[in-house]
């Protein structure tokens, strides 16, 4: 017997609470958290009577996914499933962030979720997916802009527009597109670029003031100042069982990149190694997004089952190759 559960946000989380009820058709918990089924996904499945599956090994039709559990640090994954209308649980304390932030709403998304944030409400009723919520009767709700435009268009049907009207409408459309582009740009800068700059500045300040930078620099500098060392770093970052863990939010790459940037600026590491070092520390980039990307491409379950390990293992080859190419191209650059 299925049961209804309530998922609340953590102390530093955002969104929710989500009240979720499984059905015979929609009872699967999709765990996309760096490989394996995490404790939150397992508990949701146990309390609801549903089934937890590893999103790295298989894929399901959207209508069969009851809830998706991710560990996104604020990039695309946290918005992919809300965009599809699927309840989304994020293990990290991230709110409306990333390029799909407009789809992340409190009625479909909750973050900083831990096992203790999940509770049973009662026996299962009929599950209603977010995108399938019944709309109020047309007579009981105000008209939307689209409906108003349709009515105006219907009223003007058959009327010939003069040249001035057509030019005015064309200019208005172009201006509107530019205005919306500007608004989206400002929104992106405020929600993504400025927080990243603040994060980088804070990390750099902590590393410099605490002396941690010298310790890490003395450890990493020997590797980043030689080609074999950079190849070794890239191989470690590209390991199939490590890259999905190092990838979320690009935190590791940001911290190490900030540190190396300071070392290049002070001359501790020759500037000619800057380009290959960039590829060396980014060997894991995208490793956590492989199953999500395949899902966005509407790949078949068999494609995802074989495609995810294929991409992860291919990084062991393409990662070091990219370092070698960058090293060759950087010769004579500085």
Taking Cα atoms as reference points, which of 172, 168, 123, 131 lies closest to residue 2?
123
Taking Cα atoms as reference points, which of 33, 26, 28 lies closest to residue 114?
33
Q: Is 72 among the residues known to form the active site? A: yes
Residue from 26, 72, 224, 234 carrying the catalytic annotation: 72
Cα 158 to Cα 119: distance, rounded to the nearest angstrom: 59
Q: Alpha carbon of 103 to those of 14, 67, 108, 288: distances in Å?
A: 14, 16, 9, 20
Cα 97 to Cα 110: distance, rounded to the nearest angstrom: 12
The pair of three-digit structure tokens given for residue 127, joined into one six-digit string: 């599950």
Give me the residues paired with residue 65 across strands.
Answer: 28
Residue with tokens 């009240």: 19
How many CB atoms lie under 10 A from the CB of residue 92?
20
Phi, psi at 70, each rounded to 5°: -125, 165
Q: Which residues are catalytic?
A: 72
């Amino acid at each position: 017997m299925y049961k209804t559960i309530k998922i609340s946000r953590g102390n530093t989380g955002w969104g929710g609470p989500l009240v979720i009820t499984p059905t015979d058709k929609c009872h699967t918990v999709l765990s996309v958290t760096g490989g394996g089924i995490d404790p939150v996904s397992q508990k949701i499945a146990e309390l609801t009577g549903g089934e937890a599956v590893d999103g790295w090994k298989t894929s399901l039709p959207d209508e069969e996914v009851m809830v998706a559990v991710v560990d996104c640090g604020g990039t695309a994954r946290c918005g992919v499933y809300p965009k599809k209308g699927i309840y989304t649980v994020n293990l990290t304390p991230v709110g409306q962030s990333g390029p799909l932030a407009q789809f992340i709403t409190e009625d479909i998304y909750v973050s900083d979720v831990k096992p203790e944030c999940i509770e049973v409400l009662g026996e299962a009723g009929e599950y209603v997916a977010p995108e399938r919520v019944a709309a109020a009767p047309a007579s009981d709700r105000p008209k939307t802009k689209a409906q108003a435009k349709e009515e105006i268009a219907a009223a003007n049907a058959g009327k010939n527009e003069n040249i001035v009207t057509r030019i005015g409408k064309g200019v208005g459309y172009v201006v509107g597109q530019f205005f919306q582009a500007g608004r989206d740009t400002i929104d992106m800068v405020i929600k993504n670029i400025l927080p990243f700059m603040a994060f980088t500045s804070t990390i750099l300040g902590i590393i410099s003031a605490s002396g941690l930078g010298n310790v890490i620099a003395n450890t990493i500098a020997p590797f980043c100042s030689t080609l074999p060392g950079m190849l070794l770093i890239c191989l470690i970052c590209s390991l199939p069982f490590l890259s999905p863990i190092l990838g979320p939010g690009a935190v590791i790459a940001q911290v190490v990149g900030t540190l190396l940037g300071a070392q290049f600026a002070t001359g501790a590491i020759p500037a000619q190694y800057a380009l290959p070092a960039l590829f060396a520390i980014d060997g894991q980039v995208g490793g956590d997004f492989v199953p999500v990307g395949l899902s966005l491409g509407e790949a078949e379950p068999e494609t995802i089952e074989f495609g995810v390990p294929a991409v992860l293992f291919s990084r062991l080859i393409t990662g070091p190759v990219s370092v070698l190419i960058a090293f060759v191209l950087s010769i004579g650059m500085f």
